[in-house]
Structure 1
Amino acid sequence: MRVGAGPCAVTNNGGGWMGTCCPVVELRQYGLHPGRREELISLFDREFVETQEAVGMSVIGQFRDLDDPDRFVWLRGFSDMASRSEALTAFYGGPVWAEHKDAANATMIDSDDVLLLRPAREGSGFPTADGDRPAPGAEGSPGGIVAATIYHLDAPAGEGFSRHFESALEPVLSGTGAETLAAFVTEESENTFAMLPVREDENVFVWFSLFRDPAAYGRHAAALQRSRAWGEGISGAPALEAGRPPEVLRLSPTARSLIRARPRALRARPSGASRTSGVD
């Protein structure tokens, strides 16, 4: 079974997902006019999923920010920076965006909070979740919580931070109930589509974790606060920017998000990726 399109498509051979998504990923956070989020989600899930994937990008996940009712967060992926330019040019210069851009833009105050990312190590990109994307017209929320944690660094994240995360931090995340989905660092290439700004001069390490529900995330967060191993792992992490706390986004998937909670959805990760516990 083949799921998705473009650089995020992977194959399920019956024993697990083969491949990861994607070499280049945008983490996009939109500040919206009060009370307009559901309007944008309805428009996005109806008009902007298949149409973006048709021109060579992957819509990985769409989310409600649980801590800000006027924020919409989503992820899209690309094969490389050159194809990113081509795909974005095709979409934003095409008929679908021309038809719906006024309605979309009317919901937004700010769409420039964008991090351009690449996998932190081989195999650390998103595995496509088990099952097909729900069809257009799907409503509600499939449940589950995705936590995006953004640590700011005082230098580009090298192999040292990635190795430290894998050896010292990820085991603690797993032991406290997190299903680690993916880990990324800043993509340092020049923005190849100037029409859409990104946060420049940022050095970040970002990981995404999956939880069954907000209560499961709450138990995990409380366990991390009590964990000596976690405290020692953070204090020993190389290149963390002093005085700048991490950003933590608690995200609820929309009805058509590819990333959504399923028990043991990620039980078989691609070769080279670390294994974590099941969804708590």
Structure 2
Amino acid sequence: MTIVELRQYTLRPGARDTLIELFEREFVTGQEAVGITVGGRFRDLDDPDRFVWLRSFPDMDGRARALRAFYHGPVWQGHREAANATMLDSDDVLLLRGPGFSAPDGAGPVVATICHPVDADAFAGHFEQHLRPELADRTPPLAVHRTEHAENTFPALPVRTGEDVVLWFTTGDTAPLPDLSAYLKSAPQQLRLAPVPPRS
């Protein structure tokens, strides 16, 4: 398991494709060069001004080193004004522990299901014993993640705190979930996402 960030950016109207082009041209290889694993990048199908992506690190200390190297380095410094000009908010970030996720080739739409359990351990057990087998017949859950509660080792970039989540990805259209109200504080959130094709 690795340290994973699920990042959701709210962008200025009409700016998403501008950021994606810059991101794919400069920021994928720029982050990978300092040891960051860049995962899936997605257009939110229900919000034309939302960009969602993942990146991962071997551990929290490695995260701090890699983020310092990238954000103090030439790639970000050279393009940060153009990137920041597309953004209204970049602070919606879940810090997680899990395998990371990139959409399989040709997978089509992806759904990220985010749950806020009353008791994360109890829900994780319910998920493995009951929910995963039930979902496997329709939309097998992929890349299950849970909140990483370690202190943010790069405070220049905020992360969401004070919450516990369990989330997973599925491919294909959204499928109805069973009633999970006994285990969750609120209804599950499902993000419908379209993978950004790799830059050729």
TM-score (norm 2): 0.92
Given that 2:12 and 2:87 are in contact with CA atoms closer than 8 Å, whether structure 1 keeps it comes out as yes
Aligned twin of 2:191:
249
Give me the whole-angstrom Cα distance separating, in 2, the residues matched to 1:126 and 1:111.
19
Aligned twin of 1:100:
79
Give me the whole-angstrom Cα distance separating, in 1, the residues matched to 2:168 and 2:102.
16
Deviation at 1:145, TM superposition (A): 1.1
Deviation at 1:154, TM superposition (A): 3.5
1:214-229 map, 5 Å: 217-218=173-174, 220-221=175-176, 224=177
Given that 1:126 and 1:181 are in contact with CA atoms closer than 8 Å, whether structure 2 keeps it comes out as no
Aligned twin of 1:90:
69
Report the secondary structure of 1:69's partner residue: coil
Q: Which amino acid aligns with 2:187?
A: P
Q: Which amino acid aligns with 1:196?
A: L
1:148-187 map, 5 Å: 148-155=112-119, 157-158=120-121, 160-176=122-138, 178-187=139-148
Aligned twin of 1:191:
152
Q: Are the structure 2 counterparts of residues 100 and 52 from structure 1 closer, same or farther at C-alpha, using a change threshold of 3 Å? A: same
Deviation at 1:128, TM superposition (A): 6.4
Give me the whole-angstrom Cα distance separating, in 1, the residues matched to 2:90 and 2:72.
18
Report the secondary structure of 1:60's partner residue: strand
Report the secondary structure of 1:144's partner residue: coil
Give me the whole-angstrom Cα distance separating, in 2, the residues matched to 1:127 and 1:74.
9
Among 205, 210, 214, the residue aligned to 2:171: 210
Unaligned runs of 5+ in 2: none
Give me the whole-angstrom Cα distance separating, in 2, the residues matched to 1:245 and 1:82.
34
Q: Does 1:79 pair with 2:58?
A: yes
Q: Which amino acid aligns with 2:38?
A: V
Deviation at 1:127, TM superposition (A): 6.8
Deviation at 1:130, TM superposition (A): 6.4
The CA RMSD over aligned residues, in Å, is 1.9
Deviation at 1:126, TM superposition (A): 4.1
Give me the whole-angstrom Cα distance separating, in 2, the residues matched to 1:27 and 1:38.
19
TM-score (norm 1): 0.67
Report the secondary structure of 1:179's partner residue: coil
Q: Are the structure 2 counterparts of residues 127 and 61 from structure 1 closer, same or farther at C-alpha, using a change threshold of 3 Å? A: closer
Q: Which amino acid aligns with 1:98?
A: Q
Unaligned runs of 5+ in 1: 1-21, 120-124, 132-141, 212-216, 225-229, 258-280
Q: Are the structure 2 counterparts of residues 126 and 88 from structure 1 closer, same or farther at C-alpha, using a change threshold of 3 Å? A: closer
Task: Tell me which stretches of 4 or more aligned residues in structure 1 moved more than 6 Å.
Answer: 127-131
Which structure would you say has the larger Rg?
Answer: 1
Q: Which amino acid aligns with 1:144?
A: G
The Cα offsets for residues 42-90 of structure 1, whole Å up to 9 and x where unpaired, read as 0001100111011011001100000000000000000000000000000
Give me the whole-angstrom Cα distance separating, in 2, the residues matched to 1:93 and 1:143.
35
Report the secondary structure of 2:141's partner residue: strand
Aligned twin of 1:262:
none
Deviation at 1:143, TM superposition (A): 5.8
Q: Are the structure 2 counterparts of residues 62 and 189 from structure 1 closer, same or farther at C-alpha, using a change threshold of 3 Å? A: same
Q: Which amino acid aligns with 2:196?
A: T
State the identity %.
54
Instruction: From the two aligned structures, give the one with the greater strand fraction.
Output: 2
Aligned twin of 2:17:
38
Q: Are the structure 2 counterparts of residues 236 and 153 from structure 1 closer, same or farther at C-alpha, using a change threshold of 3 Å? A: closer
Give me the whole-angstrom Cα distance separating, in 1, the residues matched to 2:114 and 2:68.
28
Deviation at 1:236, TM superposition (A): 4.7
Give me the whole-angstrom Cα distance separating, in 2, the residues matched to 1:39 and 1:127.
23
